Each structure stands twice: as C-alpha cells, then as structure tokens.
C-alpha cells in the first residue's frame, strides 16, 4: 500500500501517521522530520534548509525530491510507504508519479481557523517525534509516550504559521484537484477528535 497524507499544517498528518504505521506497519516518511533531524545534527543539508524552514517556506524541490527517492529506494519501502508532508506542490507530485506513484491520497480536511491554535499549542517529542497539544497534556515538558523531553518547534509560532498556511493554500492545495483527477483522493474530516479521524481513515483504507 502506497499512501500519501495530504493536509494543511496542523491538520493532523503526523498524529494520524503514527496511528496508521502502528496498524498497517508501513514506514512513516516525513520530509519535515528528515529536515529537522538534519538541522539538529548540523549536517550540510541541515545548514542549507534551516533558514527557509524557520521562515515557513518550502525547501528546494530538487533537494527534497532526491531525499524522498533515496528513502523510497530502501528495503523497508518494498511493501509500500506512508508519505507525510510530501508531495507539497505539482513539481513534487509529478516527480513521485514518475518514480513510485501512490495508490491512495488521504486528504485531512481541517477548518483553517483551527490551525493556529493547534500549532501554537503543539509540543513535539525530541526522541519518539510524537506530537501532542497542551489542551490534552497541560504544560508538562515530558513526553507522555516515551518520557523524553518535549520541545516547541522553531516554526511553531503565530507569525510563521500564517506563512505556512499561505504556502499551503498557494502551492499544496492544488494537489487536491491533481489527485482527484487521478481518482486517488479520499477526504476525511480532520475537525473531529483524533480517534474519530483515525476511524474514518481505517474505513477509507478498507
Ligand atoms: P512539516 O513538518 O511537514 O510540517 P507541516 O506540513 O506544517 O505540518 P505539521 O507537522 O505542522 O502538522 P501535522 O499535520 O503533522 O499536524 P500534527 O499531527 O503534528 O514541514 C515543516 C517544514 O519542512 C515546511 O514548512 C517546509 O519548510 C519543510 N518541508 C517539509 N516537507 C517539505 C517538502 N515536501 N518540500 C519542501 N519543503 C518541505 O498536529 C498538530 C497539532 O494538533 C498537535 O498539537 C496535535 O496534538 C493536534 N491535533 C492533531 N489532530 C488533532 C485533532 N483531531 N483534534 C485536536 N487536536 C489535534
Ligand atoms: Mg507533521
């Protein structure tokens, strides 16, 4: 099964991806996480993308596409993949179609008005990469899943969120039509509780 999770920033891609990987045992590939790991480790790639990521804009297509192709060539992707945050524009979608096209694209549809609250209150685990919200976990700095330290992402602030939403609306949302035309798009209501969104996804995946 080759799955793409599509959705605005804060729509719940990472949250649902963790649940999907657990149930279906697919490799979870998040380009955002790959970039953040590289920034943390100060690799040449990390140095290259740090500024653009902090601003909420997209990293260069050629770089991103190469990273994804390389990752999809690994042994664990032989049985499928779950891409979270890729593709993010038509250039990336066309490159993926040429390389290893998806079977299904799950679009997590969420009210734009909810996004800022979700993102500003997010706490991310530095170790297991889990995504939590202060609404549910309060002000703790300890990951409820693995006990490591929770951090606030550099791009999780009100100003950068607005830029990320603009980027989503201008560059990523056209993918909804692109995959609808291919008969691969399934939309789920991302405004519901986390478990209810997941139930809808499970139904879609059959
Ligand atoms: P990326 O890491 O992909 O960030 P994003 O797309 O902005 O999405 P987020 O991770 O912010 O949100 P999410 O949908 O995963 O939501 P989550 O589950 O965490 O990309 C970051 C940057 O990397 C980009 O800006 C770009 O610079 C670069 N990049 C990445 N991929 C790229 C590409 N392909 N090309 C070029 N550049 C690229 O949930 C959010 C919050 O809401 C959490 O607090 C969570 O607990 C809560 N929540 C989740 N679901 C629910 C629910 N149902 N109800 C209530 N709260 C919920
Ligand atoms: Mg995410």
Would the pLDDT of 82 be above 90? yes
- Per-residue model confidence (pLDDT) at position 85: 97
Q: Mean of the pLDDT values across residues 37-63?
A: 97
If you average pLDDT over every residue of the chain, what do you get? 96
Q: Mean of the pLDDT values across residues 181-193?
A: 98
pLDDT digits (tens, 9 = 90+) for 133-175: 999 999 999 999 999 999 999 999 999 999 999 999 999 999 9
- Per-residue model confidence (pLDDT) at position 206: 87
Per-position DSSP letters for 156-203, written without gaps between them: -SHHHHHHHHHHIIIIITHHHHHHHHTT-EEEEETTS-HHHHHHHHHH
Q: For 2, list phi and psi in degrees, rounded to 5.
A: -115, 110
Atom of ligand 1 nearest to the CA of 56: 25
E-assigned strand segments in 21-80 = 28-30
Q: Mean of the pLDDT values across residues 8-37?
A: 96
| Residues forming the active site | 13, 88, 122, 153, 164
Which ligand is the nearest neighbour of the Cα of 32? 1
Residues near ion ligand 2 (Cβ under 5 Å): 13-14
Which residue owns the Cα nearest ligand 1 atom 2? 32
- Per-residue model confidence (pLDDT) at position 179: 98
Q: Does residue 160 or residue 206 have the better pLDDT?
A: 160
129 Cβ below 6 A of ligand 1:
no
Q: What is the CA radius of gyration of the chain?
A: 16
Q: Mean of the pLDDT values across residues 85-112?
A: 98
Using the CB atoms, write b or e for 25-43: b if 16+ within 10 Å.
ebbbbbbbbbbbebbeeee
Contact 139, 123 (CB under 8 A): no
14 Cβ below 6 A of ligand 1:
yes
130 Cβ below 6 A of ligand 1:
no
Question: Token pair of 200, please?
Answer: 């809808």
User: What percent of the chain clears pLDDT 90, i.e. is strictly above it?
Assistant: 99
Q: Mean of the pLDDT values across residues 125-130?
A: 92
How far apart (Å, rounded) are the C-alpha atoms in residues 194 and 202? 12
């Amino acid at each position: 099964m080759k799955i793409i999770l599509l959705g605005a920033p804060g729509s719940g891609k990472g949250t649902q991806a963790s649940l999907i990987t657990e149930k279906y045992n697919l490799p979870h590939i998040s380009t955002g996480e790959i970039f953040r790991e590289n920034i943390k480790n100060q690799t040449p790639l990390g140095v290259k993308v740090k500024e653009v990521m902090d601003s909420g804009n997209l990293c260069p297509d050629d770089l991103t596409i190469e990273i994804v192709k390389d990752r999809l060539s690994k042994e664990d992707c032989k049985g499928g993949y779950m891409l979270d945050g890729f593709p993010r524009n038509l250039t990336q979608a066309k490159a993926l179609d040429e390389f290893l096209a998806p079977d299904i694209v799950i679009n997590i549809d969420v009210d734009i008005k909810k996004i800022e609250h979700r993102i500003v209150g997010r706490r991310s685990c530095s170790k297991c990469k889990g995504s939590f919200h202060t609404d549910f976990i309060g002000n703790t700095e300890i990951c409820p899943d693995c006990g490591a330290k929770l951090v606030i992402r550099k791009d999780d602030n009100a100003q950068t969120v607005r830029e990320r939403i603009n980027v989503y609306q201008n560059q990523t949302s056209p993918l909804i039509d692109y995959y609808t035309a291919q008969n691969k798009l399934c939309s789920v209501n991302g405004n519901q509780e986390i478990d209810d969104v997941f139930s809808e996804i499970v139904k879609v995946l059959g």
